[in-house]
Amino acid sequence: MLNTDLFQRFERKAQVITLKDCGAIAAYTGLSAGDKVVDAGTGSGFLAVFLANIVGPQGRVCTYEIDGHSAKISQQNFERAGLRNIELRQKNILEGIDEQNVHLVTLDLPDSEKALPHALKALVAGGYCVGYLPNTEQLSKFVSEGERVGFRHERSLELIAREWLVRKQGTRPDNTGLLHTAFLAFLRKPFGKL
Amino acid sequence: MLNTDLFQRFERKAQVITLKDCGAIAAYTGLSAGDKVVDAGTGSGFLAVFLANIVGPQGRVCTYEIDGHSAKISQQNFERAGLRNIELRQKNILEGIDEQNVHLVTLDLPDSEKALPHALKALVAGGYCVGYLPNTEQLSKFVSEGERVGFRHERSLELIAREWLVRKQGTRPDNTGLLHTAFLAFLRKPFGKL
Amino acid sequence: MLNTDLFQRFERKAQVITLKDCGAIAAYTGLSAGDKVVDAGTGSGFLAVFLANIVGPQGRVCTYEIDGHSAKISQQNFERAGLRNIELRQKNILEGIDEQNVHLVTLDLPDSEKALPHALKALVAGGYCVGYLPNTEQLSKFVSEGERVGFRHERSLELIAREWLVRKQGTRPDNTGLLHTAFLAFLRKPFGKL
Amino acid sequence: MLNTDLFQRFERKAQVITLKDCGAIAAYTGLSAGDKVVDAGTGSGFLAVFLANIVGPQGRVCTYEIDGHSAKISQQNFERAGLRNIELRQKNILEGIDEQNVHLVTLDLPDSEKALPHALKALVAGGYCVGYLPNTEQLSKFVSEGERVGFRHERSLELIAREWLVRKQGTRPDNTGLLHTAFLAFLRKPFGKL
């Protein structure tokens, strides 16, 4: 079991992908112990740690980060998490993905749709490419570009998580909190011939 | 990677725990490959399959179901999923939990709070007991009973997942869908002495 | 047209009832120009101003406030709003409602359910009593007590309003904001004999 | 007080603007008894009835509908509602608005942004033009075109209303319902020189 306190202690550079979204990425793709994942960009490494924890020692996460400072911070976070199945590549994913037979590619870049041809090539048939997309324009571009290059658009989602206060004085949702993080688009590589 | 089509093909007896909630249970507890899980009641077995897929062959899910018909259907679902790390116990969890050093206990019963003392005993320090609770009265009872027996209430959540339509005609959320499934209460066994 | 800037300038003592909830109260009760309203407690007077603005010079809002300081502040707010159809009663509504043939009673008290018998008597047949209830326990008590004294429970609602950012950089919901204010319970006085 | 049962009995041609959105339009614009409103397209006339009910006999709603069948049905609905302050114009609002010194213009057309120059001319300073926009592309186009012609973008919103079940068996949100109707964009005519 991962020490969830770790999630709070994470040194953050970019805004972190929240647990509600991490959970949905794992759940809607059926991510399993032993799976092979490619992730870009790394940012603080939060999503990479989350996914590495699920795929476990038989699985593997390769995470691409172009920015040197982020790479350094995330590397420290990986060590702190004690996870040995994460590999950090300081490299631009838009120039290609080295891995093959990947089960899941997660993309959180300003122009994630540009990595879609590489993702398609890297994935096994039935594998997923998930975009983490803050704006609706990005969502729309990601999905249409995905369909153009040969993915099937399985679903796009947004998750709203409300924290509830459960106390003697009464039970109610917390008054304020996160109303939006990003849209999640789930593209799938078809099983048949492209 | 789990074949996610399986999720749709599941033979359902009781209402199934949705993927948004399954994902949150895994994410907020830091569930890992290799973990040991206890689940009750089994229902159609959907949550058990989901958890077994994440903990993988090094992990294990024991799921308790008192109803014979549900037990039979869920057993078929486990076989269909090809997962060998699920064990079905046709037994009332309110009479005790056989397992020890468990990382996660998930409870989806009409009176889940009654299983909390057993859950506390079965869990490792730092382990989680998650209640899946349709009504606010159940949420409140589960949390206060949990605190009474020695758990720490880490958080309670509800998740709203909106499906988005991304099409040439325009981008928008689907008009209708699920507005509520259940509240999730996350209780944690303290690390120190009880 | 009311100067909506006024809403922002309001001197606040208690937490103000938000516009999303004000709008829903007006909409789901069919509040009309010319209607007679009773409101308690006044608080900062925000809801009273909102309702008085809709019922107009042919209508009337009587607002009950027991606390002297709140009464003084809300009186100033009414004058600032330039509305002459609001009457402030520094009086405990639990001791009775002076008005008759009222179309709408709005209750925002710690124990709003105690005012329900008075509300029922003051209302015209078909009139509404709306409870503004932060906790689920209050919601449940308000509805069951309402049904006990002779109201019909028409609906209970909660509204989530998300602000959207519409900019050149992209279109998306604001990241943070209000996730909860209160539940609204709509009780209706039956048309027939009680 | 409007007979709210009327809302349910409405003969519908197009999809009706829901009460949650009607309420928000009235609330965030500060709509008052006595105000002058222009509305297009009429559709079933639901929003026109709602607004006419609020502005009352001292106010006025002019509603534009190009389609003859919709015009006929909505005319019947206006008569059934017994409201004499609604005027139906079977005319294309894109060809101009006859009214002047209007406090509120509501637009629910496939290309609402095209009516914005007419709306700006018809409104009093400080008056609102509200777009009811199902897709995010429409929202974005409406706001940017509004700003281009001289409006100030005050806010854009979406409202999610959850119905709650309050029963002896327990208190919880209804499982299914509306997750999306439309985005509401509030544009305001500046007080100073354009």
% of chain B at pLDDT higher than 90: 85
User: C15's torsion region: left (phi>0), alpha (psi -120 to 50) or beta?
Assistant: beta
Q: Given this model, what pLDDT does residue A181 score?
A: 95
> Whose CA is closest to A72, among A44, A92, A93?
A44
Q: What is the dihedral of CA A91, A93, A94, A99, to 10 degrees?
A: 120
Collect all residues of chain B within an 8 Å Cβ-Cβ radius of residue D136: 170-172
Q: What average pLDDT score do residues B136-151 get?
A: 98
pLDDT tens per residue across span C7-65? 666 655 446 789 999 999 999 999 999 999 999 999 989 999 999 999 999 999 999 99
Our CA-based measurement puts residue A21 at a distance from the nearest CA of chain D, in whole angstroms, of 19
* D80-99 pLDDT, tens digit each: 889 999 999 999 999 999 99
Whole-Å CA distances, D121 to A133, B35, D125, D185: 38, 67, 10, 18
The nearest CA of chain D is from the CA of A147 a distance in Å of 19
Least confident among A4-13, B33-42, C148-157: A4-13
Q: What is the pLDDT of residues A93-145, one digit of tens each?
A: 999 999 999 999 999 999 999 999 999 999 999 999 999 999 999 999 999 99
Share of chain D above pLDDT 90, in %: 86
What tokens appear for A57 in the block?
């020692």
What pLDDT score was predicted for residue A192?
76
Residue A182 scores a pLDDT above 60: yes
- The owner of tokens 């959180």 is A108
Residue C193 pLDDT greater than 70, yes or no: no
- A82 or C114: which carries more pLDDT confidence? C114
What pLDDT does A17 receive? Answer: 85
Q: Which residue of D has its CA nearest to B138?
A: D170
- pLDDT for D185: 98
Q: How far does CA A142 lie from the centroid of its chain?
A: 15
Taking the CA of residue C140 and the nearest CA in chain D, the distance in Å comes to 6
pLDDT tens-digit map of A16-68? 789 999 999 999 999 999 999 999 999 989 999 999 999 999 999 999 999 99
Instruction: Delineate the domains of chain B, giving CATH numbers in brackets.
Output: 5-188 (3.40.50.150)
Of B137, B170, B176, the CB nearest to D178: B176
For residue B176, the model assigns a pLDDT of 94
| C104 contacts on D by Cβ (under 8 Å) | 1
Mean pLDDT of B11-27: 82
Per-residue pLDDT, B15: 65
When CB atoms are compared, the residue of C7, C23, C155 closest to D163 is C155
| Residue B194: pLDDT over 70 | no
Tokens of A170: 């009464």
Res C32: pLDDT:
93
- The residues near B71 (Cβ < 8 Å, ≥ 6 apart) are B42, B65, B88, B90
Residue A8 in this model has a pLDDT that exceeds 90 = no
User: How many other CB atoms are there within 10 angstroms of residue C188's CB atom?
Assistant: 20
Residue with tokens 């964009």: D185
